Amino acid sequence: VSVADKSSENKYDNLLAKRAAGAVARGIGAPTQKMIAFTYGLPDEDSFPFNDLAAAATKTIMEDGKTIFQYGAPRTLAAYILESLRLEEDTTIAPTQIAVTAGSSQAISLVARVLLDPGDVILCEEFTWNGALHIFKNAETTVIPVEMDEGGLIPEKVEAKILELQAQGIKPKFIYTIPTFQNPTGSTMSVERRLALLDIAEKYDTLILEDHAYHGLAFEGDTPPTLFTLDHERKLGRVLHCRTFSKILAAGMRLGWVAGPEDLMVRLTGLKDDGGTNPFAGYIAATYAQENRLRNHIQDLVKIYRQRRDLMVAALDKHLAGTGVTWNVPAGGFFIWLKLPEGLDSGALLPKAQEAGVNYLPGTSVVPQGVDGKSYIRLSYSFVKDEEIEPGVAALAKTIKESLA
Ligand SMILES: Cc1ncc(COP(=O)(O)O)c(C=O)c1O
């Protein structure tokens, strides 16, 4: 998270908008050459479907060039998304209920724009995606963390927090959650918890922003229905839902989407100032997705990431058993979340790990203000090569054991 550096002088301070004071660019993970990078949730770069995307690009440019090089939303991609929701989740929504966005980052920014005034309060998981924290900081919002466990966000804690705020005359505008293969903890909320969270949103007249970034990347078992689908079935209208093509296709295409109740979406798209998101990439993605190519590609990705998850869990078992370090085994997504034994600080440990040749994200990078993340480490297995996983975990384990000693 880019922390606002109010102290550093800027030549244009007297001209800047208040929200720009201290603003700094969001860190996008730049992998280092020398180190084994468990740091970033970047998609595997060898898996981008180069040939099929090249063919889809050529076909779309030649057959549909006048459309894709023109202003406008990528209508064929929106149609693909609606069709997928209907086929895969039995959820039928109107075209006016979705907007294609420049990654889900823009989707979250738009939700912030349409719902948040400076000083507003939102709730989120105590450990969460740092990109979203960056967006909420730029929206001048107060982000209140809510306790989680291995099953994700705890609805009773959400309700307790809402009541606590209510006593101070504060109503949170929405609850930002990543209920499935959560970043950074890898946890997935049960259906029971999802239903309880919806009840809470309804009871206290608030909304839920469901970030479903790791959609499709399930390694085993049934993935619970999304909050969006459950909300749709119950006709509550409490959920805004965003997804991305970054993890299942190519992050550089900058494609994502947001869906929600019609009345909210009309305002949200009213604040979207860009003349249509990336029609070039959007139409190409839609051509590529035809004939089940994207669905089949996701199945290939699942095999790759499942294998890496298994390699990482096996390496953790081998090198860290008996040290007091604990971790989860995620059922999908990109992340394993380590808890260090009492007294170890993941920030202090990092330079030593880097010296040993391995990089990770310390828990302090993924927490809203007021949460102490120093006992935690996020390991991502998405971007490393299979053969780097064991040596990387071995190097990390050696560093941890030395610090324990
Ligand atoms: C939970 C979560 N949401 C959203 C995103 C953003 O993805 P994009 O803006 O590329 O769609 C990420 C990427 O790391 C993520 O982990």
Answer whether 180 contacts ligand 1 (Cβ < 6 A).
Answer: no
- Nearest ligand 1 atom to alpha carbon 108: 4
Instruction: Give the tokens for residue 50.
Output: 């180069």
Distance 323 CA to ligand 1 centre (A): 32
Centre of ligand 1 to C-alpha 108, Å, is 9
CA-243 nearest atom, ligand 1: 11
Q: How far is CA 63 from the centre of its chain?
A: 34
CA 251 / ligand 1 centre spacing (Å): 9
Q: Strands, E, within 163-234: which ranges?
A: 174-177, 207-211
User: Is there an atom of ligand 1 within 6 Å of 183 CB?
Assistant: yes
Q: Please tell me the number of Cα atoms within 13 Å of 101 on its side-chain side.
A: 25
Which amino acid makes up residue 278? Answer: N
**From CA 238, how far away is CA 100, in angstroms rounded?**
20
Residue of the CA atom closest to atom 7 of ligand 1: 104
Nearest Cα to Cα of residue 53 among 297, 359, 227, 325: 297
Secondary structure string (H, E, C) spanning 257-312 = EEECCHHHHHHHHHCCCCCCCCHHHHHHHHHHHHHHHHHHHHHHHHHHHHHHHHHH
Contacts for 153 with CB less than 8 Å, ≥ 6 apart: 125, 146, 175, 177, 179, 189, 193, 197
Pocket test for ligand 1, best of 40, 44, 129 (most atoms within 8 A of CB): 129
Q: What is the pLDDT of residue 210?
A: 98
| DSSP tag of 250 | I
Output the pLDDT for position 3. 44
Is the beta carbon of 256 within 6 A of some atom in ligand 1? yes
pLDDT in tens, 100-157: 999 999 999 999 999 999 999 999 999 999 999 999 999 999 999 999 999 999 999 9
Rounded-to-5 percentages of helix, strand, coil across the chain: 45, 15, 40
Atom 12 (ligand 1) nearest CA = 213
Q: Is 178 in the pocket of ligand 1 (CB under 6 A)?
A: yes
CA distance 273 to 102: 12
* Rounded CA separation 114/97 (Å): 15
In testing the pocket of ligand 1, which one of 40, 105, 335 has its CB within 8 Å of the most ligand atoms? 105
- pLDDT tens for the chain, residues 1 to 405: 344 455 578 888 899 988 888 888 887 666 666 899 999 899 999 999 999 999 999 999 999 999 999 999 999 999 999 999 999 999 999 999 999 999 999 999 999 999 999 999 999 999 999 999 999 999 999 999 999 999 999 999 999 999 999 999 999 999 999 999 999 999 999 999 999 999 999 999 999 999 999 999 999 999 999 999 999 999 999 999 999 999 999 999 999 999 999 999 999 999 999 988 999 999 999 999 999 999 999 999 999 999 999 999 999 999 999 999 999 999 999 999 999 999 999 999 999 999 999 999 999 999 999 999 999 999 999 999 999 999 999 999 999 999 998
- Does 104 contact ligand 1 (Cβ within 6 A)? yes
Residues 96/238, Cβ–Cβ less than 8 Å = no
Residue whose entry in the numeric block shows the structure tokens 């999908």? 332
Rounded Cα gap, residues 400 and 405, in angstroms? 9
Residue 251 CB less than 6 A away from ligand 1? yes
Cβ–ligand 1 distance for 131 under 6 Å, the answer: yes
**Parallel/antiparallel/unpaired status of strands 152-153 and 174-177:** unpaired
- Look-up: residue for tokens 């960056």? 134
| Start-end of H helices in 48-102 | 50-68, 75-89
> Contact, 371 vs 127, CB < 8 A?
yes
One-letter amino acid for residue 95 of the chain: P
Q: Is the CB of 103 under 6 A from ligand 1?
A: yes
| Pocket-testing residue among 26, 48, 77, 104, ligand 1, by greatest number of atoms within 8 A of Cβ | 104
Sign, CA torsion 159/163/168/171? positive
**Of 99, 108, 146, which is closest to residue 26 (Cα–Cα)?**
108
Cβ–ligand 1 contact at 213 (below 6 Å): yes
Give CA separation, 248 vs 76, 145, 212, 225, in Å: 18, 29, 12, 19
Q: Sign of dihedral through CA atoms 399, 186, 211, 84?
A: positive
- Which atom of ligand 1 is the closest one to the Cα of 105? 9
Q: Ligand 1 atom 14: the closest Cα is on which residue? A: 41
pLDDT score of 2: 41
What is the CA(105)–ligand 1 centre distance, in A?
A: 6
Is the beta carbon of 97 within 6 A of some atom in ligand 1?
no
Which ligand 1 atom is the nearest neighbour of the CA of 244? Answer: 11
